[in-house]
Amino acid sequence: MKAIIGLGNPEIKYKNTRHNTGFLIVDEILKAHQVTLINKFNSFFAKKDNLMYLLPKTYMNLSGNAILEIINFYKLTNNDILVIYDDATIEFGTFRLKKSGSFGGHNGIKSIISCLGTDVFDRLKVGVGPVPNNISIDSFVLSNFNDNELKNIELMGKHAVKLIDCWLNEGMEAAQNKFNKKMI
């Protein structure tokens, strides 16, 4: 059993913000796999075959709480999850897969590390940067994508479907070798 987890904020006003990139990418994966979410585990949740999808409704800063629920319920290990989230320090359209690391200023990842008690879990950073000089990082990640960027997010979601398949069938190292690059 594996879990694909997208980070974001559940309110409609955050739907198309950069900070909801994890939700947006997982939405594209759900479309491709023809999966519908339900409310469970304080999240939007789905399970199909041996793959689960989770979009925590706990808001970004408490994402770890919902993730810990699913890990405990299904007896998952940290190796069974892939967390997808935005990274404003990486160029827009770039994927960066990692097996561990600090929270890097991202409060969703900080919450997960705190709840799991480790920074060792697979993650996919999706580049939404760079942050313009005249705006704070908080304002930037909470700003909406423009229409062209949203189309590119959809395209990145299609790439993410292939990335997930590689991660599941060939492992993290193979996925890193194939997908750690600018995707658009």
Confidence band for 36, pLDDT divided at 50, 70 and 90: very high
Overall domain count for the chain? 1
Torsion of CA 178, 54, 37, 157, to 10 degrees: -20
Give the angle subtended at the CA of 87 by the CAs of 174 and 72, to the nearest 5°: 70
184 belongs to a structural domain: no
Query: How do residues 145-171 score in pLDDT, each as one tens digit?
Result: 999 999 999 999 999 999 999 999 999
Please give the positions annotated as active site. Answer: 19
Range of the domain at 53: 2-179
Confidence band for 73, pLDDT divided at 50, 70 and 90: very high
Question: Residue 31: what pLDDT?
Answer: 96
74 belongs to a structural domain: yes
CATH code: domain of residue 56: 3.40.50.1470
Q: Are 128 and 88 in contact (CB under 8 A)?
A: yes
Strands (E), the chain: 2-6, 38-40, 43-48, 51-56, 81-91, 95-100, 120-129
